[in-house]
Amino acid sequence: MSGNADMSKSASKVMTVRTASGIARIRRQMVPALAVMLAASLAGCANRDSITVGSIPDDYRTNHPIVIAEKNQKIDLPVGAGDRGMTGAQRDALLGFLDGYDKSAAPALTIAMPAGSANEIAARAAGRDFARLAMAAGVKRSRIVMTSYQSAVPEASAPVRVAFVAVRAQTDKCGRWPDDLTETSENKHYADFGCSYQNNLAAQVANPNDLIGPRKQSDIDAENRGAVIDVYRSRGISDEFLGNSEVTY
């Protein structure tokens, strides 16, 4: 009996040692896993640079907004050394240019004639004709400024420059290519996308103030409104309308 008891105790000790060894092994295996889990949880609290979808504007209207600002409007009219006064082509070109002149704002109209050029005399004669044409087109005489500029090449004929400042709708300058167009990993527009469209749209706006707010409502034509109402009343209700209507008249 004592032998059996000793064997039982020995077996119990062996099982205890094996159990303790297994627990220690499990603990050793769990330590790396716990370390990884702890590192992952701490990484969630770290400040990292990340890209959030929609956080960077990707709308061409935002990247290339239409703004209202003063812009220098100018036209260079070539004058030949043998010309005597304004030609028909110059007259048509200048009248088309003056269509954009706001007579209510009445900005200064500058006529700059070349000095020291081969066509200096002809340019001065043409410049005086340009001033007379501008006054005939509605520009006040007090708003016309006659000036001169030094020609860069004395042997060549220089143009007469007509200019005025006007408020225009415009966008930033197109043609910016800061990045490679093949880099599309972020699936975003390239920097110049939509710039030409915005520039063309701004150029078509006749009155830039329309982009700021609506105009004052025009007066109602009472006579025309009365005539329209009389025509509407005299027509009555058509058979086609009665056939398609769900309301019984």
Rounded Cα gap, residues 7 and 14, in angstroms: 11
What is 60-225's CATH number?
3.30.1330.60
Rounded Cα gap, residues 140 and 106, in angstroms: 8
What tokens does 227 get? 């005539």
Instruction: Report which DSSP code applies to 157.
Output: -
pLDDT on residue 119: 94
Rounded Cα gap, residues 45 and 198, in angstroms: 43
Rounded to a whole number of angstroms, the CA Rg of the chain reads: 42
**Tens-digit pLDDT string for the chain (249 aa):** 544 545 455 545 545 545 555 555 656 666 566 666 766 666 555 555 555 554 456 788 888 999 998 889 999 999 999 998 999 999 999 999 999 898 888 899 999 999 999 999 999 999 999 999 999 999 999 999 999 999 988 889 999 999 999 988 999 888 888 888 787 777 778 888 899 999 999 989 888 888 888 888 888 888 988 888 887 788 766 677 667 766 665
Phi, psi of 114 (to 5 degrees): -75, 145
Residue partners of 150: CB distance under 8 A and separation at least 6: 114, 115, 116
Sign of torsion over alpha carbons 183, 188, 189, 192? negative
Rounded Cα gap, residues 110 and 134, in angstroms: 11
Rounded Cα gap, residues 226 and 235, in angstroms: 15
**Cβ(127)–Cβ(161) under 8 Å?**
no
Rounded Cα gap, residues 196 and 194, in angstroms: 6
| CA-closest candidate to residue 169, choices 133, 137, 206 | 206
Rounded Cα gap, residues 115 and 162, in angstroms: 15
Work out the number of other CB atoms within 10 angstroms of the CB of residue 248. 5
Domain layout of the chain by residue ranges: 1-42, 60-225
| CA-closest candidate to residue 161, choices 126, 187, 193, 189 | 126
What tokens does 55 get? 């956080």
pLDDT on residue 65: 92
Chain CA centroid to CA 9, Å:
90
- pTM score of the predicted model: 0.57
